[in-house]
Chains A and B, each alone.
Chain A
Amino acid sequence: MIWEVFRQEAAGDYHTHCGNVHAPDREMAKQFAVIQHGRRKPAHSLWVVPQDEVAEVDEDEADFGGSTDKSYRWAMTYNDVEPAAREVADSEAEQAEAGADRGDS
């Protein structure tokens, strides 16, 4: 049985997928995950999930965000105003970064 492994580097971080292990049951999966994924890189906590329980939907099936112009829902669109506060500017920067990652023009 294959178990997908998610590692959290430090307390408060997100658990992110880092690989998988072969194991007969949950307890063994946890042990193997510790050995294979919890030793070389910083780890504060690991999750193991049976691979069968992971459902996937990919970009062939779903329009993530679609191809329609949705510029109206991004802070960068409203250029006639300056961010009112630091956290507004931070949010805009995160949105711009996500836009670049998505490959928006």
Chain B
Amino acid sequence: MDIAEVRDRAGPREFNAGDDMPEEYREAATRMIQFHANSEIMGAYLERPFVRQAPSLDRKLAFSAKVQDEIGHGQLLYRAAESLGVKTRDEMLDELANGEGKFLNCFHYPMDSWAETPMIAFFVDGAAMRRQATLKSSSWEPYAHAMDKVCFEEGFHVKHGEDILRELMNGSRKEQRMVQDAFDEWWPRIVQFFGPTDDDSTHHGFAEEVGLKQMTNDQLRSAFLNAYVPKAEQYGLEIPEYPRIEERDDGTYEVRESDLDWDEFFAIAKNDYEPGVGQIDGRARTQEAVEWVRGVLDEREQAAGTTAAAAD
């Protein structure tokens, strides 16, 4: 299939491993899905300490279920990416460990206190879900199928995250202040979640033309602000003055891009931002520590392979 035909046919769930897709499509899809898979893994590592630090048994159970889900999402997505035939799962995991693998800006920042958890568990998961719901219509069928399961599970994450926010904002004055401080710190990063405005986004045009993604950065950011700004206000959070956000007459939002720190954003995009580097290395060490498990699995697979071959 050539690119012209791909553009022509690019509807929801249109292509799968049985189609002969051009290199350009397979590479763009791999880049996008690998980024998504990496983000699930790095997000899980960021939240993992809160299984231990959760303030109650219910929260502990919910956090451990959520972290487990996120690792599962990573696995589903590496499979969807692998099905493009560009990179194997092992290659992608190695790239994540050696600092080549890219992932969401928000997961490059450290998260230290319980009061910060709604920033990821509610706002970032909520933002991710806005995007993921649209990706159910991606033209790469294995990606869309992965999104079915991810979106099925994510409703729990977002509502649980909101429940933590609700609880803290109805708590002591100290708790409320800590959440507001966390919000002030995280808000600009969350606004940057969807990337720079469409004019500056390098990969957007092609991915949309071939149906890999359905909505632009700006549309998604607007949809996010529409749903989540009222939520923040409902719980008594004050939206920081910067970045300045103006609502247009048609209900969409315009973010003053110059109010955001794009140097930091692009340093992060290159995996050059310090806390993120530490988080990448931390995960690499964990991966290293369980190398023996993969070794055992590989041995079993090889042993099974020889017996199967002998039986033929």
Contacts and interface: CB of A to CB of B under 8 A. Distances in A.
Interface in B120-146: 122, 126, 129-130, 132-133, 141, 144-145
Interface stretch (A32-40, A54-62, A68-76): A68-76
Interface string A76-92: 01101101111111111
A94 interface: yes
B52 interface: no
A51 B14 CA distance: 29
Contact of B14 (A11, A14, A70): A11
Nearest to A12: B13
A49 B51 CA distance: 41
Contacts of A86: 133
Nearest to A69: B61
B228 interface: yes
B121 to A, nearest CB: 11
A87 B159 contact: no
Interface residues of B, number: 34
Contact of A84 (B62, B132, B231): B231
Nearest to A95: B155
Given A72-B65, A84-B227, A78 B160 contact: yes
A87 B166 contact: no
B10 interface: no
B239 interface: no
Contacts of B141: 11-12
A91 B160 CA distance: 13
B100 to A, nearest CB: 31
Q: Interface extent on A, as a size class?
A: 20 to 34
A90 to B, nearest CB: 7
Interface in A1-31: 11-14
A81 B163 contact: yes
A50 B232 CA distance: 54
Contacts of A81: 159, 162-163, 166
Nearest to B155: A91
B126 A85 contact: yes
B58 interface: yes
Nearest to A85: B227
A72 B62 CA distance: 5
Contacts of A98: 152
A13 to B, nearest CB: 8
B152 A94 contact: yes
A94 B132 CA distance: 16
B247 interface: no
A75 B66 CA distance: 12
B111 interface: no
B123 to A, nearest CB: 9
A74 B231 CA distance: 21
A73 B13 contact: no
A69 to B, nearest CB: 9
A72 B13 contact: no
A83 B159 contact: yes
24 contacts: A12-B13, A12-B14, A14-B145, A70-B65, A72-B65, A73-B61, A73-B66, A73-B156, A75-B160, A78-B156, A78-B159, A84-B162, A84-B231, A85-B158, A85-B223, A85-B227, A86-B133, A88-B129, A88-B155, A90-B151, A91-B153, A91-B154, A95-B152, A95-B156
Q: Which 6 A-B pairs have the closest CB atoms?
A: A12-B13, A91-B155, A87-B133, A75-B155, A78-B159, A73-B65
